[in-house]
């Protein structure tokens, strides 16, 4: 019997030391397109920074929505809380994960996302949507939180829960 694994990650790439800063670092890695839900994440962040003022979101990736998302950040007054890096090579993504406190994937549709596997290999708690193969990776309330796709309030609550309890 043969098992085929179509995607995966090299755990050794994500086994480096964790780095801690004076901010709560959230990370999104993915294509900047509507189906990835970054607009929903920015809506949630707009409310979360009122409760957790040290939140920092790093957005790794590029795509057709980047200009619109950058405009949205400015309009929401989130310039001090959001960094766009553009596309990064895998070893640079691993460095971002080493500095992350929370990994957020607010997508509307996913298969079994590699970025989620990378975050979990880095031992970063995740917030991900209840879609397709995500629930095969994320045990809700144990390795992270699963939220309804597009649900700003659930996403906000999960962000604030993880941001306010470092041990969790």
What does the DSSP assignment read for the chain?
----------GGGG-SPP---SSEEEEEES--SGGG-HHHHHHHHHHHHHH-TTEEEEEE---TTHHHHHHHHHHTT-TTTEEEEE---HHHHHHHHHH-SEEE---S--SS-HHHHHHHHTT--EEEES-TTHHHH--BTTTEEEE-TT-HHHHHHHHHHHHH-TT-
pLDDT at 18: 81
Q: How far is CA 18 from the centre of its chain?
A: 17
Question: In which order are the strands placed within the sheet that holds 55-60?
Answer: 82-86, 55-60, 24-29, 102-104, 126-129, 144-147
The pTM of this model reads 0.93
pLDDT at 116: 94
pLDDT at 12: 85
Burial class (CB in 10 A: 0-12, 13-18, 19+), 96: buried
Q: How far is CA 54 from the centre of its chain?
A: 16
pLDDT at 123: 92
Low-confidence stretches of the chain (pLDDT < 70) are 5-6
pLDDT at 6: 67
pLDDT per residue over 45-83, tens digit each? 999 999 999 999 999 999 999 999 999 999 999 999 999
């Amino acid at each position: 019997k043969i098992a085929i694994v179509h995607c995966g990650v090299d755990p050794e790439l994500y086994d480096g030391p964790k780095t801690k800063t004076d901010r709560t670092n959230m990370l999104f890695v993915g294509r900047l397109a509507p189906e990835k839900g970054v607009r929903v994440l920015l809506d949630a962040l707009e409310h979360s920074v009122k409760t957790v003022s040290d939140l920092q979101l790093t957005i790794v990736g590029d795509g057709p929505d980047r200009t619109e998302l950058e405009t949205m950040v400015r309009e929401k007054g989130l310039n001090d809380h959001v960094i766009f890096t553009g596309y990064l090579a895998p070893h640079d993504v691993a460095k971002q994960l080493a500095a992350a406190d929370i990994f957020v994937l607010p997508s509307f549709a996913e298969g079994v996302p590699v970025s989620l596997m990378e975050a979990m290999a880095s031992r970063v708690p995740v917030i991900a949507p209840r879609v397709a193969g995500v629930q095969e990776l994320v045990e809700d309330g144990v390795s992270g939180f699963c939220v309804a796709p597009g649900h700003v309030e659930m996403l906000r609550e999960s962000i604030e829960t993880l941001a306010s309890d470092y041990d969790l």
